[in-house]
Chains A and B, each alone.
Chain A
Amino acid sequence: MRSKSSANAAESAANRHPLIVFAGNPNAGKTTLFNALTGSSQKVGNYPGVTVERVSSEIKLNGQTVEFLDVPGLYSLDPVSEDERVAVGAIQGAPGFPRPDVMVVVIDASNFERNLYLFSMLAETQIPIVVALSMEDRYAEQGFTIDHDQLQALLGVEVISAAGGKNAEELKQAIWRCLQNPRSARIGPESTRETEITILQERLARQGADLTRKMISEELTNPTNRFDDAPEIAEAFARAREKISQAGKYSDPANISDRYKWSVTVEKQVTRGQPTSNLTLTDRIDRILIHRVFGLAIFIGLMYLVFFSIYTLARPVMDAIQGSFDWAGARISPSLAGVPIIQSLLVDGLLQGVGSVMVFLPQILILFFFIAMLEGTGYLSRAAFLMDRLLGWCGLNGRAFIPLLSSFACAVPGILAARVLPDQRSRLATILVAPLMSCSARLPVYLLLIGAFIEPSFGPYWAGLALFAMHLVGLAAAVPIVWFINKKMLKGNRLPFILELPPYEWPRWRDVWLAMYFRARVFVKTAGTIIVVMSVIIWGLTSFPNFNSPKQERLSGSYLASFGRALEPAFRPAGFDWRITTAILSAFPARETVVPSLGIIFRSESEDRAQLSESIKRATWPDGRKLISPATAIAIMVFFALCCQCMSTLAAIKRETNSLRWPLFVFTYMTVLAYISAVACQWAFGWIR
């Protein structure tokens, strides 16, 4: 699927609406809050020059239009990943980004120290801030509450409770107040000073010297000889002065410790309560879900459940969609009988083509439903934890599991999701194998062939297993390939693997629904553009030059068929005849088109409107042998599993790697691999009858 071009990059900077950015740690509840405030009015675009999604929404605030912008989650203003770089750019108003007017900083109350670490950096941007405090309910379960007034006083900005996206109106009004009367936070070097004073005061108290904060502050500003006889104390003062002068510098290790000391000081002052029980719900769930044995078993079971659901649940809806397109075709056909070219173009070309793509929609929705659920509950990170060693030895890491899993829906969002990998090497390696994951566009081929050749003779359980196996083929091929790529082709240093496991949560239906909605929208848009064009082109290639002959001759004498025949000898070892070859060729721009192509090729031979699977089952070689044996069916499926038949994927790789070299590399290695594997399957499975 294509993402929007970055043409809207240079949006008019002048005369723009006030810009409100939402910043915070990953997993702090930022997206939930953003969704609650904006709903489906979100616009999903791209940041200029990069492919990080820019999620924004224009809303009316007390009659004035303002723009809300959800920046990617970040841990620090010293970015390590593409996502973070963009987030930092958007926050700091780097060239190409308008400077925000107000920043809503989402702080996870149950993860206070680390969230406050980021806050200490955000505060120094001097952008007016409103704090949205999330996850207070979770913190309360652990036995703690946060004193809002005290926190407000310490940070110098308004603090609004925003647990689970509630209090949306109150937060909007706080944003409004901040726009009218901007308040930036009062921390940073000043607060480092405060922290140092506290530390010095405690230290002096231990040695029996009771100094007021004011006295210490004066001593820090104007050193006296008061502590000459206590060199340790004098030295402590000197160190404190040094730290204060250094405050405000990022990624200096000493500075990181300082910021954390500050955040601990704040936490101590605003937190009330006692820890309740040591074992939280998350601890108890994790005992099982990331258990050495059960954890892996459950993971595999879950993945099987996902694919089994796609196979079974989507079926009736798919049939309904296909049925409605067929019905529309049958209704339109007679009225155009006078102009056969237009009739054929509309019914056989456009309706067939678009219908065959829309048929995927239920599967895409189901898959994204599962991904959104797994992500929303926090399970995806556990899966990354379980998978890290398996993916790690060949140079990927557990995090790559997420882009790779997304690639099972579609490689394009998967390739985009590789941005979550902070180090460039793992990111590139992940991008290069993501297209091997069996995307949902391959599903119709599997469903068609498994339905026609495996299910009738071996039953539904083997059919489900075969479908699962087809999804493992690409994964199995990816491991040695990524190992090779990592060892022989990629350079650059790697960052350590760092992964946060957020507490488990019930996913919010609104977030799940929105994730599904946006994916589906992008998908339908693609169907409306590339696929329409491709359908017409394939229709043209299969209908001419003999348009006026009967259907069968029209096709067998078409441009595409002659091309397929020319290549048949090359595909013969895999057991493919010119018809299968033709279908494969027609699918190189977008594999979605293969089933409609098969439909045009095989159905037109049998004049009755039998089901496609019946037609391909009956197809024979010229000598009367069955065209597709189980081995050939497997060979076709494996070919489709491994071959790179997707222009959109190659375009995404080019964009993400900013070079032509990598998409060419991917195209070449996948095509060669697919061909060799198809031939091997024909040999290996020839015994199946």
Chain B
Amino acid sequence: MVAQAVMIPFDELKVGMHAKVVQFDRTNALTRLMEMGFTPGAEFTVLKVAPFGDPIEIDLRGYRLCIRKAEMEGVEIEIIR
């Protein structure tokens, strides 16, 4: 049985969550993020949150990437588990 995917805002991501990128606001600022493999459909796991709450470290396509939650406005994600 497939669990119902839940859309959540980016800043509600917690350590250990496994999520999927649904879609993007297509702003130029986020193009580089896509080039790093953060494309719609890509799945990632939250590995760590930095000492002061931001940035976060995610496991994406087999490598570790740090991004700021604060800069992820307009990125729609859903929780897989």
Residue of A nearest to B51 (CB): A292
A455 at the interface (CB under 8 A from B): no
Residues of B within 8 A of A385 (CB): 48, 50, 55, 57, 66
Known A75-B32, A389-B52: A496·B64 in contact at CB below 8 Å:
no
Contact mask A368-386 → B, CB, 8 Å, 1/0? Answer: 0000000000000100111
Contact between A398 and B55, CB atoms less than 8 A apart? yes
A interface, how many residues as a size bin?
35 or more
A110 to B61 alpha-carbon distance, docked (Å)? 10
Residues of A within 8 A of B72 (CB): 496
Residue of B nearest to A495 (CB): B29
A113 to B24 alpha-carbon distance, docked (Å)? 21
Contact between B29 and A493, CB atoms less than 8 A apart? yes
Contact between A290 and B48, CB atoms less than 8 A apart? yes
A73 at the interface (CB under 8 A from B): no
CB distance from B69 to the nearest CB of A (A): 10
A295 to B34 alpha-carbon distance, docked (Å)? 29
A260 to B42 alpha-carbon distance, docked (Å)? 10
Contact between A295 and B36, CB atoms less than 8 A apart? no
Residues of B within 8 A of A78 (CB): 31, 35
User: Which chain B residues in 27-53 approach chain A with CB under 8 Å?
Assistant: 29-37, 39-42, 47-53
Known A496-B32, A498-B66: A114·B55 in contact at CB below 8 Å:
no
Residue of B nearest to A296 (CB): B51
A253 at the interface (CB under 8 A from B): yes
Known A75-B36, A253-B31, A496-B30: A501·B68 in contact at CB below 8 Å:
no
User: Which chain A residues in 252-283 approach chain B with CB under 8 Å?
Assistant: 253, 256-257, 260, 282-283
A117's partner among B37, B51, B53, B65 (CB-CB below 8 A) is B37
Residue of A nearest to B42 (CB): A260
B62's partner among A113, A290, A494, A501 (CB-CB below 8 A) is A113
Contact between A496 and B33, CB atoms less than 8 A apart? yes
User: Which chain A residues in 61-102 approach chain B with CB under 8 Å?
Assistant: 75-76, 78, 80
Residue of A nearest to B30 (CB): A496
Contact between B68 and A497, CB atoms less than 8 A apart? yes
A493 to B32 alpha-carbon distance, docked (Å)? 14
Known A113-B61, A114-B63, A385-B66: A499·B39 in contact at CB below 8 Å:
no
A112 to B62 alpha-carbon distance, docked (Å)? 8
Contact between B48 and A111, CB atoms less than 8 A apart? no
A421 to B66 alpha-carbon distance, docked (Å)? 15
A500 at the interface (CB under 8 A from B): yes
A620 at the interface (CB under 8 A from B): no
Residues of A within 8 A of B41 (CB): 257
Residue of B nearest to A422 (CB): B32
A286 at the interface (CB under 8 A from B): yes
B11 at the interface (CB under 8 A from A): no
Contact between A390 and B52, CB atoms less than 8 A apart? yes
Contact between B68 and A388, CB atoms less than 8 A apart? yes
Residue of B nearest to A112 (CB): B62
A251 at the interface (CB under 8 A from B): yes
Residues of A within 8 A of B29 (CB): 493-496
A501 to B36 alpha-carbon distance, docked (Å)? 13
B37's partner among A253, A260, A293, A390 (CB-CB below 8 A) is A260
Residue of A nearest to B72 (CB): A496
Beyond the given pairs A111-B63, A290-B57, A495-B32, 14 more chain A to chain B contacts, judged by CB atoms under 8 angstroms and listed by A's residue number, are A75-B36, A113-B37, A113-B62, A114-B61, A253-B26, A253-B34, A257-B41, A260-B39, A292-B50, A385-B48, A496-B33, A497-B68, A498-B33, A498-B66
Please list the 5 inter-chain residue pairs (A to B) with the smallest Cβ-Cβ separation, ordered nearest first: A389-B52, A501-B64, A496-B71, A499-B66, A113-B61
Residues of chain A whose beta carbon lies under 8 Å from any beta carbon of chain B: 75-76, 78, 80, 110-114, 117, 251, 253, 256-257, 260, 282-283, 286, 290, 292-293, 295-296, 381, 384-386, 388-390, 392, 398, 422, 493-503
